[in-house]
Amino acid sequence: MEKGVLSAAAMRSALFSQLPATETSRLLAASMPRQFQPGQVLFHQGDTSEYLYQIVAGLVRITQINSEGEQITLRIMRPGDLCCVAAFRQPSYPATATAIEDTTVLAWRVGSFVALTQQSPAIADNVVCIAGDRTREMLQRATEMTGKCIAQRIAASLLRLSAQAGTATADGIHIESPVTRVDLASMAGLTYFTVSRTLSAWQKQGLVRSGRHRLTILDMARISEIAEPRPARG
Amino acid sequence: MEKGVLSAAAMRSALFSQLPATETSRLLAASMPRQFQPGQVLFHQGDTSEYLYQIVAGLVRITQINSEGEQITLRIMRPGDLCCVAAFRQPSYPATATAIEDTTVLAWRVGSFVALTQQSPAIADNVVCIAGDRTREMLQRATEMTGKCIAQRIAASLLRLSAQAGTATADGIHIESPVTRVDLASMAGLTYFTVSRTLSAWQKQGLVRSGRHRLTILDMARISEIAEPRPARG
DNA sequence: CGACTCGTTGAGACAACTCAATGGGTGTGG
DNA sequence: CCACACCCATTGAGTTGTCTCAACGAGTCG
């Protein structure tokens, strides 16, 4: 990918949002473009945090190992997302990031990135926004996981997944190849089998269309309703 | 509480950490001390976010309503904690905060706090640190909840609770009155009864001492081991 | 066309939930 | 000072729902 295209793509992101031109160029100047192939790991859980990544193209799966030794998919990162806010001022990465498509990122050394935020209130402000957003999402996720009803957890994970890795089509939201129901299961903290059963049932009801390596949400409204039975207060 | 004491207490916190004197006084000048009695609500989930709070004394329970309509305890906030980072640049509070002891806070209007962070890189830096920390914690929590084994979830919640609301005694970590096993159940996403059963079993093994409105962790090491069976990989 | 992989489905086991009843502290009023 | 009532915690029995494991079916690739 060419440098101009790369920075153009990067600038449509929360990190670069509403930044004065000087800050934008400082950020870009300090960044290093890097490429990852599917399966390549950007960083491992527990590694000393050296780099921050802004995803420009591709898809990245963020996983954590739970106490039973299973890989839990926390979220899918897409172009525009900043990886990983939780490591920002921490000694080590809290999770593992794996490219699941050909992925292009801008990388910053943690030290230089911190220096930039300290020099530029505008950048710092954007980082704070992103961090708040991410915290809120994880808060939400932690709450969702406490629900007893499995269908709700699957529906909630499905919504999350569709927002993070879905593409809109005529039929509905389409979730493509590298993201399988294995991801769905590991996001919802369930078995494979249970997810498969639930999706089968939903398919019979016309809520989703599910197949080999692909998944389409046909009736977004009802999936949302399953995830959140009583329309959220507030 | 007197103003001097109040600010002295506030300054031993992540928000004020390593702040130049000018920033400290600006923060303090913009703050308003407020008092809450047990049961009083600092803010409700879904309310427009008007204030940020730094807890100076007391204890605050952060809860969220899950899709089944149950109150989930997300964490307990203690003196030094900043409430709530997740609302920082968000239109509404993502959770409800309730005082569970007589609680003193410093409050900032969101607008003036944002202005301060935009003027002061040092403050912004601290906020980012706090947000990163909180995100990491919730990330961890979301992962813990995916575990099938109930004992692990209870143990993990117990550790979290003891860190957030425990006091060290000769016997072990003591978790006192306003935090009951109802909290523990709602943190772990379990029923009352299941938590009670598990704690009984642990009491027989001498891991905890559990009673009316009080709970002491006697064998921290083994509780940790239950929470994290295979010592976390690095 | 055959081998392989991914997804579905079924039967049985087991663990947590539901609900009800009992036990034990704590505080109050006689 | 004792007895009662109340609240919190414990325990038990039955039910439900997910997990485990195994076999089957379908789609994909060579």
Instruction: Please write the tens of the pLDDT for every residue from B8-43.
Output: 777 789 999 999 999 999 999 999 999 999 889 999
Length of chain A: 234
The pLDDT of residue B230 = 63
Q: Which of A145, A159, A190, A195 to mutate to test the interface with B (most CBs of B within 10 A)?
A: A145
In this prediction, what percent of chain A has a pLDDT beyond 90? Answer: 55
Other C-beta atoms closer than 10 Å to the C-beta of B11 total 16
Q: A228 and B146: CB-CB below 8 Å?
A: no
Q: How close, in Å, is residue A157 to chain B by CA atoms?
A: 12
Tens-digit pLDDT profile for residues A17-44:
999 999 999 999 999 999 999 889 999 9
In this prediction, what percent of chain B has a pLDDT beyond 70? Answer: 96
Selected residue with higher pLDDT from B112 and A10:
B112
The pLDDT of residue A3 = 66
Mean pLDDT over B85-98 rounds to 88
Mean pLDDT over B69-73 rounds to 87
| Domains of chain B, residue spans | 3-137, 150-227
Are B3-137 and B150-227 in the same CATH fold? Answer: yes
H runs (alpha helix) in chain B:
3-11, 21-30, 110-119, 121-144, 150-165, 181-188, 192-204, 220-227
Choice among A220-234, B50-64, B176-190 with the minimum mean pLDDT? A220-234
- The CATH-assigned architecture of domain A150-227 is Orthogonal Bundle (1.10)
Tens-digit pLDDT profile for residues B142-164:
999 888 889 999 999 999 999 98
Average confidence score pLDDT of chain B: 88
Q: B68 and A149: CB-CB below 8 Å?
A: yes
Strand D nucleotides with an atom less than 7 Å from a protein beta carbon: 8-12, 17-22, 27-28
DSSP secondary structure letter of residue A207: S
Q: A135 and B135: CB-CB below 8 Å?
A: yes
Which chain A residues have a beta carbon less than 8 Å from that of B189?
145-148
Longest CA–CA span in chain A (Å) reads 57
The pLDDT of residue A234 = 32
CB-based contacts of B46: which residues, under 8 Å, 6+ apart? Answer: A232, A233, A234, B92, B93
CB-based contacts of A185: which residues, under 8 Å, 6+ apart? Answer: A191, A192, A194, A195
The pLDDT of residue A222 = 93
Which chain A residues have a beta carbon less than 8 Å from that of B146?
66, 70, 72, 145, 186, 188-189
Tens-digit pLDDT profile for residues A43-87:
999 999 999 999 999 989 999 998 888 889 999 999 999 987 877
Q: pLDDT at residue B195 above 60?
A: yes
The torsion angle over the Cα atoms of residues B71, B77, B82 and B87, rounded to 10 degrees, is 0
Give the CA-to-C1' distance from A192 to C17 in angstroms. Answer: 23
Length of chain B: 234
Closest residue to D9 by CA to C1' distance?
B212
- Tell me if the pTM is above 0.85: yes
- Superfamily for the A3-137 domain: Jelly Rolls (2.60.120.10)
Q: A233 and B45: CB-CB below 8 Å?
A: yes
Q: How close, in Å, is residue A213 to chain B by CA atoms?
A: 24
Tell me which residue of B39, B46, B67, B99 sits closest to B189, measured CA to CA.
Answer: B67
Residue A181 contacts strand C, CB under 7 A: yes
The pLDDT of residue A191 = 92
Q: pLDDT at residue A233 above 60?
A: no
The C-alpha angle with vertex B181 and arms to B178 and B187, in degrees rounded to 5, equals 100
Longest CA–CA span in chain B (Å) reads 57
Q: pLDDT at residue B113 above 90?
A: yes
Buried b (16+ CB within 10 A) or exposed e, B74-107: bbbbbbbbbbbbbbbbbeebbbbbbbbbebbbbb
The pLDDT of residue A5 = 72
Tens-digit pLDDT profile for residues A89-114:
788 999 999 998 899 999 999 999 99
The pLDDT of residue B234 = 31
Tell me which residue of A230, A154, A23 sits closest to B69, measured CA to CA.
Answer: A230
